[in-house]
Amino acid sequence: MPLIHMGDMLNHAYRNRYAVGAFDLVSLDFLEAIITGAEACQAPVILSLAESHFEYFDFELIMPAVEAAARRSAVPVAIHLDHGASLESAQRGIRLGCNGIMVDNSMAPLAQNIERTHAVATMAHACDIPVEGELGYVAGVEGEDAQRHPGEVVYTSAEEARHYVESTGVDFLAVSIGTVHGRMKGEPNLDFERLAQINRALSLPLVIHGGTGLSPTQFQRLIAEGVSKINYYTALADAAGQQLADNLERGARGYTQSVKDVQGAIRDEVERCIKLWGGAGRAKELLRQCRPWQNVEHLIFYNLSCSEPEAAEIIAEGERVLGTIPGVRQIFAGKTLKDSDHYRYCWRVQFASAAVVDSYREHPAHMSYADTYFRPNARDRLTEDFAPALTVLKQSGGEEASGGEHPAASAS
């Protein structure tokens, strides 16, 4: 259950004036440190995976671990693709288990940024997945990750932000008001007046990238002006690196001795941030108000009225085509082990969420496959969509799942 709808999470933070940490992870040490840190603080947390880090780990291999950690966690968790570069990366992120997507076209000219971000938001919203856009440009100056964000800072203006949000439909906005990615020399100069204007114009959760190196007072002012998600990585990487260096200096040899206590060093920094940003102790209240994030199983039992070679062709085509539809996570095409009096074949298609039931049915690739290949040969069939039984029973038993209400909507 503690994998929850990221929109509910950030809207709760926005309404209650705290910020959720979106900690980028690059290994299992980071994953465990972030989760245990959040649990120790009883705080919601976002497990964030930055596309620019994919050269350091295998995204496809790490995601089952990320998802397992989220599902067994005692605190509310969301899984976020950070700085996704394209529609394809967003779709892949959703397939692998992300339930929040950031699309970053902030380096492109505004019209292009709007067009590409709108395409991602339309696709993701059909899966009930919220999207973070970025307007203005958060550059990097030095240190960990900064070289990936070259160039000068471009500030976000309130007027442009309103136009951007209306045209793209993004749910959260990363703004550029003076922070930079990576380490900073001296204290950054943040434009709080600009942030306040943006917040008044948008009334939706704002996001800050480049949180490393800001002072407690700066964080508090950011949160007071609508920042509900803080992306944070460099200081975690520094804490891990320092622990490694200390271990080596003390004569550690080999891998396990060298990485000893690295997890603890990351976790200490995670806990420090969560407490500083006001998220500590919020888990229980949020869990009562949010929607759980759950996959849906689309099951079809059927018989085919064609020859076996034709059946093989129909199934192979289905595996190929249906797997490309946004929100489809996994496809299993089965045949009974023994002859059956009932149904000989099945499809089990896993959807990212209940919303995909509709968007999948109406998707052109599905319609054309169903009309051309499947339905003419599988007239005898049974189709149902399933969510986890206990969650459904609990929800229909009267437990109110609110929290989907948007602060912008409730304000008007």
Chain residues in the site for Zn ion (CB under 5 A): 209, 231
Residue with CB nearest Zn ion?
209
Residue partners of 361: CB distance under 8 A and separation at least 6: 367
Least distance from Zn ion to the Cβ atom of residue 75, Å = 23
**Closer Cβ to Zn ion, 5 or 209, answer by number:** 209
**Closer Cβ to Zn ion, 11 or 234, answer by number:** 234
- Name residue, tokens 């500030």: 155
Helices (H) and strands (E) in the chain, counts: 18, 12
**Closer Cβ to Zn ion, 197 or 231, answer by number:** 231
The answer to whether 389 and 322 have CB atoms below 8 angstroms apart is no
Least distance from Zn ion to the Cβ atom of residue 82, Å = 6
Least distance from Zn ion to the Cβ atom of residue 20, Å = 15
**Closer Cβ to Zn ion, 210 or 326, answer by number:** 210
- Tell me the C-alpha distance between 196 and 249, whole Å: 47
Query: Strand order of the sheet with strand 381-386?
Result: 328-335, 345-351, 296-302, 381-386
**Closer Cβ to Zn ion, 67 or 104, answer by number:** 104
The answer to whether 106 and 88 have CB atoms below 8 angstroms apart is no
Query: Which is it for strands 328-335 and 77-84: parallel, antiparallel or unpaired?
Result: unpaired
**Closer Cβ to Zn ion, 139 or 325, answer by number:** 139
**Which tokens go with 308?**
């076996």
Query: CA separation (Å) from 233 to 117, 138, 222?
Result: 24, 14, 18
DSSP 56-108: TS-HHHHHHHHHHHHHH-SS-EEEEEEEE-SHHHHHHHHHHT-SEEEE--TTS
Least distance from Zn ion to the Cβ atom of residue 209, Å = 3
- Name residue, tokens 């009334």: 203
**Which tokens go with 268?**
């200490």
Least distance from Zn ion to the Cβ atom of residue 50, Å = 7
Catalytic site residue 82?
A: yes
At residue 19, the 3 state secondary structure works out as coil
Least distance from Zn ion to the Cβ atom of residue 208, Å = 9
Catalytic residue (one of 8, 24, 82, 145): 82
Catalytic residue numbers, as ranges: 82
